[in-house]
Chains A and B, each alone.
Chain A
């Protein structure tokens, strides 16, 4: 089954404690991206990757890092989380042929 998986689904952490949210896809897609969803703001892109070892900033990259060492994985790293990063995070992947994005189930992060 074609899917994008994210872990963990829920996370409560404290300010400053480094965390990683994993994302993996099994569709051999070149393009992967991370979004955050906040009420009234829709989805905003954090980072995206066009292929292995190629990453670029989206609209709201501050406070986040990513890496793309393998085609299937695209982890999101928060080196020093702050309360304003409390949000719902989605990973997505797509083929450059169709641009149709497949989304993971989401990770709800709370930073206290």
Chain B
């Protein structure tokens, strides 16, 4: 079946540090890939997405590239801010498999000033 594995946290960084959160997936079809962010006390919000191989999703300085050869969708940001502190979820949806939706376990990021 489909699954998403993401880097375990928590991750603690200083402001302006480089961020990478690893995400790999297993899918029987050709999934769309997403990163969602959850700020404290809130629901998840879409951060970025990519729908096919080699697509790059980007938003708010975050980027992730859909790598079919390595089945990966790693999240990166060049310079994190305190306001980026949140839990980040990698996810896939397999539209060819009854819209099967899978989330990773989430990675908690804390950015210190």
Contact = CB atoms under 8 A, between A and B. Distances in A.
Interface of A: 4, 31, 33, 35, 40-45, 48, 50, 56, 90, 92, 96, 99-106
Interface of B: 32, 34, 36, 42-46, 49, 89, 93, 95, 98-99, 101, 103-106
Contacts of B106: 42-43
Chain B interface, DSSP helix/strand/loop, else mixed: strand
18 contacts: A4-B43, A31-B99, A42-B89, A42-B103, A42-B104, A90-B44, A96-B99, A99-B93, A99-B95, A100-B34, A100-B46, A100-B49, A101-B36, A101-B46, A101-B101, A103-B36, A105-B42, A105-B43
Contacts of A40: 105
